[in-house]
Amino acid sequence: MERTWRWFGKNDKITLDMLRQIGVEGIVTALHDVPNGEVWTREKIRDLREYIESYGMRWSVVESLPVSESIKYAGDDRDRLIENYKESLKNLSLEGINTICYNFMPVLDWARTDLSHPNPNGTTNLFFSRAEFAYFDICILKRQGAEKDWQDVAAEVEKMKQTMTAEDNHKLVENIIVKTQGFVSGNIKEDDEHPVELFRQLLDLYKGITKEQLRENMKYFLNAIMPTCEEYDMYMCVHPDDPPFPILGLPRIVTSDEDIRWFLEAVDNPHNGLTFCAGSLSAGRHNDVVELARKYCSRTWFVHLRSCHVFDNGDFTEASHLGGRADLIELARIFEKEETRRSGNPNIGKLPMRVDHGMTMLGDENRGYNAGYSFLGRMFAMGQVQGIIATVDRELGKEYRQPGLW
């Protein structure tokens, strides 16, 4: 697999010069300065592509070309926004970029309650607490009907009502809807004065929308863009929902074997595929991650290698890249074989992989990195994964080469 890294553009404190020194071959990025729904021009795409290439790497994957909320809930302007999306796809292809990671998650791209949860070894990781999220939903967001969704942690929420301070509440809001979203979706920004009220307004856009309706909206979007994808050989790969279960009264439609099978069959086109995020899928105890990889590797255009540990009460945290529920060693075997099988395809012959979230360690916390996207923690994970891939390649008789070295 091609070793890639999510990089947040020229203002990222992690520089391309740093990345080429640790074995990164390809960059996963986006035009973060272009507002959602606007066309990505060839000029802006070319400028960033050439900048990446000047450091000896390629722009491997777009993560992401955001799907506007209006497309997801079928607003009046969705057809106009889809036309803009198609134009951006065309422009990316003309600049030699053919793999697009996106998601169809309403409002919230991913959710954690603690962005620096302590590990026994002194590092920290991202963490999702069901009780803390329930407290946010019931007591801060005050969403109608929230109590029904969190009955299993009701007693814990009642205890938290007695102990949570205004500062604690502010931190929870920052963790759930500000710091994890601003650099990804653009829905909520760090300088927004009233993030909770803005978040309520976004949720209201989805009132009455069921899982079936959201599925149909995704099908409508994919059917609309497939002719462009076919003409320009663009490969769409949806990211699984994170976490892989319903939250905030919002439907989730990429959470399980049944969901993946549905969207692949609903638009049965090779340009409609999957981002296999082992971390998101392993956060759901209903998912057999290795079996999912075996079933869907031939429709996987991008791989996120990380793993989650799920506690008995349903809380979960990022695990070591050598531990947790995902079994990255076996996943490497599956996807390395799949890459060999498709090696003759000019645009997807390489299967891009990134390690995704890593521990915060050795001063990462003081360097202003985006939540979950430390440098040293991800570099540590990259080293682990590169060791796995080198071992698997020897098993398979494939030549392994460490990028940047003789």
User: 120 to each of 123, 124, 282, 323, how far by Cα in Å?
Assistant: 7, 9, 21, 15
**Residue in 109, 242, 356, 364 annotated catalytic:** 356
Choose the catalytic residue: 109, 137, 206, 239.
239
Neighbouring C-alpha atoms within 13 Å toward the C-beta of 165: 2
3-class DSSP assignment, residue 387: helix
Residues in contact with 272: Cβ distance below 8 Å, sequence separation at least 6, in sequence order: 222, 226, 229, 236, 263, 264, 299
Contact 39, 171 (CB under 8 A): no
- What is the rounded distance in angstroms from the CA atom of residue 390 to the CA atom of residue 393? 5
Are 398 and 336 spatial neighbours (Cβ–Cβ below 8 Å)?
yes
Structure-block tokens of residue 303: 């791989």
Residue 15 has a CB neighbour count (10 Å cut-off) of 13
For residues 181 and 290, what is the distance between their CA atoms, to the nearest angstrom? 29
* Candidate list 137, 271, 373, 393, residue with the active-site label: 373
Query: Is-catalytic flag, 277?
Result: yes
239 included as an active-site residue: yes
DSSP code for 364: G
Residue 405, strand partner residues: none
Tell me if residue 400 is catalytic. no
Count Cα atoms within 13 angstroms, Cβ side, for 197. 3
User: Can you spell out the DSSP letters for 96-163?
Assistant: T--EEEE---SS-S---SEEEEEPTTS-EEEEE-HHHHHHIIIIIS--TTHHHHTGGGHHHHHHHHHH
Note if 304 is an active site residue: yes
Residue 371's CB: how many other CB atoms inside 10 A?
21
* Nearest partner of 356 among 382, 376, 333, 331, judged by Cα: 382
Token output for 175: 């963790």
Cα 77 → chain centroid = 26
- 315 classed as catalytic: no
List the structure tokens of 320: 């070591």
Using CA atoms, how far residue 47 sits from 17, 44, 85, 113, 352, in Å, is: 17, 5, 19, 37, 22
Per annotation, catalytic residue among 357, 364, 369, 393: 357
Choose the catalytic residue: 102, 304, 315, 393: 304
Catalytic residue among 101, 229, 277, 308: 277
The angle that helices 42-53 and 78-94 make with each other, rounded to 10 degrees, is 40
Residue 373 is a catalytic residue: yes
The DSSP code sequence of 308-327 is EEE-TTS-EEE--TTSSSS-
- Catalytic residue positions, numbered: 239, 277, 304, 356-357, 373
